[in-house]
Structure 1
Amino acid sequence: MKYVGEAPQEELATGEHSTRNRVARSILDHGPSTVSELAGRLGLTQAAVRRHLDALVADSVVEPREQRVYGSRGRGRPAKAFALTDCGRDAFDQSYDKLAADALHWISKAAGGGEKGEAAVAAFARARVAGQGEGYRQAVEAADPDRRTEALARALSADGYAATARSAPNQQGEQLCQHHCPVAHVAEQYPQLCEAETEFFSDLLGTHVQRLATIAHGDGVCTTFIPRSASSGDTARSSTPQTTHHVSESNAGRNPA
């Protein structure tokens, strides 16, 4: 969308990469964001950010949401946060969603469908995570005990998950946030992908972890809670895979029937 008579300095300075794409990319990398947060990260005025957000909303790339507030809420209404829509995520996705979904459907059908089919898909999901997870394991094991979640986030980001680590609101642990998921659309149909990833995180960090939210379930960010003991090194972890998976009881990632 062009603005007649306007040539914002922010757009002129970006060259081939438009400011609007930078706004969308910032939301992808950091999750749902307010106008103030975007302006601070990108070095733009809030008025400029609002203009670009208006265009992105009109193009169904982002959508406004009520910002979650943890703890006591102050006076006034919370600022709106802007999150990527499915359409917006598709612009960044380079995965072959239909091919992957068709392959998983074939695996399920070939195994006999029903519970056998679900088990076959789950086995594939675990094998997939294990195959790509060796680099994650090396990164975590090389990190200081209190920096393991951060190391995992960096390793995930290198694979396109735009992950960050931060203290949980209750200060009892950390939250691993994945702001992008290359297989989100496939995971909507096959939640075994999310479940296998959660099991892997638990085994990797040596503690029970809890999946609080997933992009596949309609949330803005995939969020995993990791107890403080995992990052502080209080929990010993065997160097060999555990036979018992510490699976979250959360239904995040499961589509409601």
Structure 2
Amino acid sequence: MKNVGEAPQEELATGERSTRNRVVRSVLDHGPSTVSELAQRLGLTQAAVRRHLDVLAADGIVEARERRVYGARTRGRPAKVFALTDCGREAFDQSYDELAVDALRWIGEREGGDEAIAAFARARIAAQAGSYREAVEAAAPEERAQALARALSADGYAATARSAPHPQQGEQLCQHHCPVAHAAERFPQLCEAETEFFAELLGTHVQRLATIAHGDGVCTTYIPKSSTVSRAAGASPPPKPPKPPESSKTPRTSGAKSEKPSPRIHNATASASTAGRNPA
């Protein structure tokens, strides 16, 4: 029989998380704080506050540092305070998506419309291309899609590479997360520039089958099998890519935004200047 006053484990866990959230919120609202200050604000014992801070520090949410002293320093060691890390701040609304959309809209209105946005998108990809190019060029031709997936994952795209439904056709590069999905929903040039870059990097045309920005569950890019080898040998063009899997679709609700990216995002292919080009 359960003891009187004993709470289920899940309730205890929920209560612990709730208290830790209060600790984090207090640091956000009041700035770097000592254990004593947090305990007084939250009505907790200092021992309880220290226990929660230990967990938060282990998770990279807060960090301990010495309190800055302005003016003459008093005797003794400065008090230790706990401040939010960058990771801790990201748990709160930052409005980065809105900032990106506003900036891209301004570029389009002031600098030349869609072409200016496309130029920005290509420049953005070029600025971060170094690590991707290094990873792909260090891999064997048959392992380049996997190498690109690992490099993308390191940048937060949660990418994988797998065989297409018919393995002889090629591979599918799947990005399960898109850090710029909100901006790409308004400005498909971001997706198109990425697709062009994949084509140039892998030395073949590639085809986007689905994108998160267009409402799909995952960004899926089709890569023909052994494209670099077959083109060098003068083989016939690869077969048409498979249709995107139905499981990757995420139905849109009736309240979805009316402003949608152009449907061409699904069939975006590299331009003639990039398709088939071997990486330098």
Fold-level similarity (TM above 0.5): yes
Q: Secondary structure at the match of 1:251?
A: helix
1:217 CA displacement: 0.3
Separation in 1, partners of 2:137, 2:174? 20
Counterpart residue number, 2:195: 198
Return the index of the structure with the highest Cα Rg. Answer: 2
Distance in structure 2 (CA, Å) of the matches to 1:187 and 1:91: 22
1:163 to 144, 153, 159: 159
**What's the counterpart of residue 265 of structure 2?**
251
Paired AA for residue 100 in structure 2:
A
Q: How far is 1:124 from its partner?
A: 0.5
1:252 deviates by 2.1
> Which amino acid is 1:251 matched to?
I
Shift of 1:203: 0.6
Partner of 2:129: 133
Query: Would the aligned equivalents of 1:95 and 1:183 in 2 still touch at CA under 8 Å?
Result: no
- Please tell me whether residue 149 in structure 1 is matched to residue 145 in structure 2: yes
Runs of 5+ consecutive residues of structure 2 not aligned to the other structure = 1-5, 18-89, 233-262, 269-280
Does the aligned pair in 1 maintain the 2:208–2:220 contact within 8 Å?
yes
Distance in 2 between residues matched to 1:123 and 1:189, nearest whole Å: 16
- 2:207 maps to 210
For 1:137, the aligned partner's letter is R
Aligned counterpart, 1:245 = none
- Deviations along 1:28-75, one digit per CA (max 9) or x if unpaired, are xxxxxxxxxxxxxxxxxxxxxxxxxxxxxxxxxxxxxxxxxxxxxxxx
User: Aligned partners of 2:109 and 2:118: how far apart in 1?
Assistant: 13
CA contact (8 A) 2:191 2:265 kept: no
Where 1:223 maps in the other structure, the secondary structure is: strand
Determine if the alignment matches structure 1 residue 178 to structure 2 residue 175: yes
Moved more, 95-104 or 187-196: 95-104
Deviation at 1:149, TM superposition (A): 0.1
The aligned length equals 158
Equivalence for 1:96 = 96
Whole-Å separation in 1 of the counterparts to 2:126 and 2:95 = 19
Indicate if the aligned counterparts of 2:188 and 2:265 stay in contact, CA closer than 8 A. no
Q: Is the 8 A contact 1:191 1:253 kept in 2?
A: no
Runs of 4 or more, structure 1, over 6 Å off, are 90-95
1:107 counterpart residue number: 107
Q: Summarize the alignment of residues 73-88 of structure 1 with structure 2, pairs less than 5 Å apart.
A: none
1:250, distance to aligned residue in structure 2 (A): 5.0
Matched, 1:227 2:224: yes
Contact map agreement 1:97 1:185 (CA 8 A) in 2: yes
Pair 1:163–1:118, CA change in 2 (3 A): same
CA contact (8 A) 1:167 1:174 kept: yes
Q: TM-score, normalised by structure 1?
A: 0.55
Q: Secondary structure at the match of 2:230?
A: coil
State the shift of 1:233 in Å: 3.5
The 3-state SS of whatever aligns with 1:252 is helix
Deviation track 1:183-231 (CA, whole Å, cap 9, x = no partner) reads 000000000000000000001001110100000000010000000023x
Equivalent AA in structure 2 for residue 109 of structure 1: E
Among all aligned residue pairs of Structure 1 and Structure 2, give the percentage whose two residues are the same amino acid: 67
1:139-181 residue CA offsets vs partner (Å, 9 max, x unmatched): 0000011100000000000000000000010211000000000
Letter in 2 for 1:187: A
